[in-house]
Structure 1
Amino acid sequence: MKEICRIFALVLSAATFMLVISSASSNPVFAQIVRVESGPEVGHGFVLRHGGVCYLITPRHVTGSRRIATVKTASPMRSASATMESPFWDDMDLAIGTVRAEGLGDYCRTPLTQFDQSLEVDAGQPMHLLRLRDTGEVERSALEFEDARYLTFKARMARQEDAFFRGTSGAFAFVGDRPMGMVVTTTDGQEGQFIRIEELYQNVARWVQRSVRFVGTAPSADTAPLVDGMRIVLHSVTQPPLNSNTAPENMRQEGAYVFPAGRNQIIFRIPGVNPGALARIDLRSDPDADYALPRLIRVEVSTAAEPTAGWRHFAEAEMAPDGVFTINRSAQLARWVRFTIETAQDFGPIGIEAVLMR
């Protein structure tokens, strides 16, 4: 009888463990925990969305000086690449990356505001560490909170058989479904040091929300001549180029259109007797060039005979820090497409290298 009870207890324990994995995988917040691979290094991170851009948060030592990292989700595993930066203060073990989120499917939907939390430990809701196995299964380990400092806190594995093994850096501690912090180091494999969620939110929010907002009306430029025979044709801009080498026409050929800081409206025409069906827009800028990247971009379309009326909202989003702005949506008929550059990611002249429409 005792043996039967012992077997039943083992089965129940296994079932409970699988239920925990299943619930963690389906929870929209828990599902944002990802595995991060960069060169020989392996760690974890968290993906979140702000301004239409998917960002990866991970310890800086996981990606080091490498520019590209691979992001892998929980099972069924999806992967995408991230372009990494380390813009935070020197002693903060934190990096942020822009993720090509198309490869992640339904992942990366948790807003940045989900990080606007306070470190609170409730005895009725124990703390857990969430991380991914190599197979993509979610592993949930109980933690015992130890102490908190201004920027960090420490927690210890509640069970002796659990450990902060290699590749755990970047995993997150949760109380219920609220993220409390990201583990960055361990001293003995049993105790981990975490960056507090308040510190993560303040630094990440300050970086992703940074912008230079333009005030006033930009000077008008002469209307560019229409050229038939192209899939899209530049019609006009409201900011003149810095010089003849940075002309607006460069957006459709070699080079870049670079213009003074200020709000800019750029209009393209889709040639043809009838309006075209527009479903995708791509803008590209070079993050390593000597100009600022656009930030907030508003896109409108019109089927009117002239680009003076009938404008309809198509999309509004931010260019990613790696210079990529991509919009995918249901097709709309358009004869004219107007881009309004509302803000920039830095001071100084602004540049756009390419505009593509599909």
Structure 2
Amino acid sequence: MDFIDMLLGRRRYNVPLDTSDFPKKGERSIYLGKVAESSERVYYDIDNLTRHMIIAGITGGGKTVAGNIIIEEAVKAGTSVVIIDPTVQWSGILLANKDEAQRNRYGQFKMPSDESRGIPTHIIALANNSDFSRGTDLVCLMRPGIATVVLVNELVPAEIDRYIGELIKAVRSARLPQSKQLKLLIVFDEIHTILPKFGGNGKGFVELDRAVREFRELGVGMLLLSQVLEDFLGAIRGNINTEVQMRTTFDDDLAKAKLKYGEKVADSIMRCETGTGLFHNADYNIGRPFFLSFRPPYHNTDRLPDKDLNAYLALAHRIDDLRGKTRKDDEILARAEQELYHGNLNACNALLEDAINNKRRE
């Protein structure tokens, strides 16, 4: 809240609010944060993600913060999460949150300060089109309770577009059993880059359009993170159940918000604090949007330093190589893999040395 607003007792986010239809805390509900400028907690039915979500906003507006909370809660619930990462931003989620500014906000959301923890994370890197087979292997990607981060920063936009199309085709052809519960969440960061105006060739966009209609019955949800919202028109927007508009200055998005919700709401969107956005889901607030302040994450939100990322990828390669050569040390390799997923690189390396020494003694 602006200092002058606070002095005058003015509210920044003035929208009608009825919390009677908000989901309550429960086994399949996740804690997102609280209604802006209130203490009202906001829970979300995680299985609602099979009907997909889009979070849009300018750089620095908090869409990544919001996405982090969804991912953290989905992994905690035992869901397989796959993150398509064009910026390497998500590589550091395996570490605990050490950001004092974020941790100082835990108390505002009644979060215990001693629960800072990383997300178990499997990282793979795609360097070119020949790597697409690894990036579309669902046996490799779907790991319940683990986030798989697929780094695509070495690919040009047209290649990312093609990869997204291939991944969606792989999910569709996998013959996954029908499920009302969320089994797989695919996170597309910077998804606007597949739009033709940003360098995409349209193929991934076509597959995405089909996926939002077909994946729901399979327990597969998609979380789209984008700088723009209004460019996702037609069937894609029509089949996304939850929209979150973080702070933005894009004229088209603001004009649409003004048309749908009024000038005051559009003005509030422009002035949103980082981490607060306009949340719209027809099942909440009698179908009306409201402003949601997302809680801070328990995990780190910065990318891994290049040195640590390269070490991680080298250790992952050694595990794959050893696993292909011997079955005797599967237990040691499984332990090494778990240490790797939690960012314990030295412990992982020590276990791999044990596996190598055991093989030499055979």
Query: Larger radius of gyration, structure 1 or 2?
Result: 1
TM-score bracket relative to the smaller structure: under 0.3
TM-score by length of 1: 0.26
Greater helix percent: which structure?
Answer: 2
- TM-score scaled by structure 2? 0.26
Pick 1 or 2: higher relative contact order, CA cutoff 8 A, min separation 6.
Answer: 2
